[in-house]
Amino acid sequence: MPKPSGRLARLLVALLALVFLTGCASAASEEALNPWAEEFAWAYERAENEFVRAVLSDGVITHEEFLEAQAHTMNCWDQHGVPGSFVVFDDMTNVSQPTVMTDDQRRHAIECERFWIEDIWWLYEQTRINPGNVNFDDLVADCLIRHGLAPVGFSGSDFAELALLGGLEIGYDPDEALTEEEVQALFDNHVWYSPRLPGGAYLDEGQAWECRINPHS
């Protein structure tokens, strides 16, 4: 096969470079339009059913789609004898289920969530609270400063370091399963350690806690 002439070879190289640059530009444009595009693509690839793929396909999760995912999940629970529902607390959706369930019920509860709502739920909340997909710790730090709970210059890394200090004090086995009453007793007896911000406020109480849940509060 004859080799292309020098001029033709240069033209082919230019065309290949244009195709490559166009692809890069498209990816960059998509990322600019949807800062969560990479996460949506990842979730789409691992989705196990067409409903989840359809919800994720346009890079946007509406409230109606989120509610539909909840309905699918609860229907799956019902089919496997798993009690439970979704409730909204502190502007965040949570699962309400009995503390005591059989091993099979717990397994099916997790499997139903993973199959129908896990990634939809995570992306719905993240895109709602952090639409720009910026460092979440930085958002929390900004919120704490805005409410006068931390000094100007308090950073996301400062918050992350402080948050790592929180937890149960010595004398509690982290592998031990607790009932709701036992967890409440730990709080009542001050077994739970909550770090303090530079201004003196507890990190797990009041507006500081609100900032951790929704840094735009």
Query: Where a domain ends, among 86, 107, 129?
Result: 129
Both 54 and 116 in one domain: the answer is: yes
Same-domain check for residues 94 and 121: yes
pLDDT (tens digit per residue) in 82-119: 999 999 987 889 999 998 999 999 999 999 999 999 99
Same domain, 179 and 116: no
Range of the domain at 151: 136-213
**Per-residue pLDDT at 18 exceeds 50:** no
- 208 and 143 part of one domain: yes
96: in domain? yes
Each residue of 35-52: pLDDT tens digit? 999 999 999 999 999 999
- Whether residues 151 and 166 share a domain: the answer is yes
Instruction: Among 114, 129, 144, identify where a domain stops.
Output: 129
Listing DSSP states for the chain in one string gives -PPPPHHHHHHHHHHHHHHHHHHHHHHHHHHHH-TTHHHHHHHHHH--SHHHHHHHTTS---HHHHHHHHHHHHHHHHHTT---EEEEETTEEEEE--S---HHHHHHHHHHHHHHTHHHHHHHHHHHH-TT---HHHHHHHHHHHTTSS-TT--HHHHHHHHTT-EEPTT--TTS---HHHHHHHHHTT-EE--B-TTS-BTTSHHHHHHHH-TT-
Instruction: Name the pTM for this structure.
Output: 0.68
Say yes or no to pLDDT of 199 above 90: no
On whether both 149 and 117 belong to a single domain, the answer is no
Residue 24 lies in a domain: no
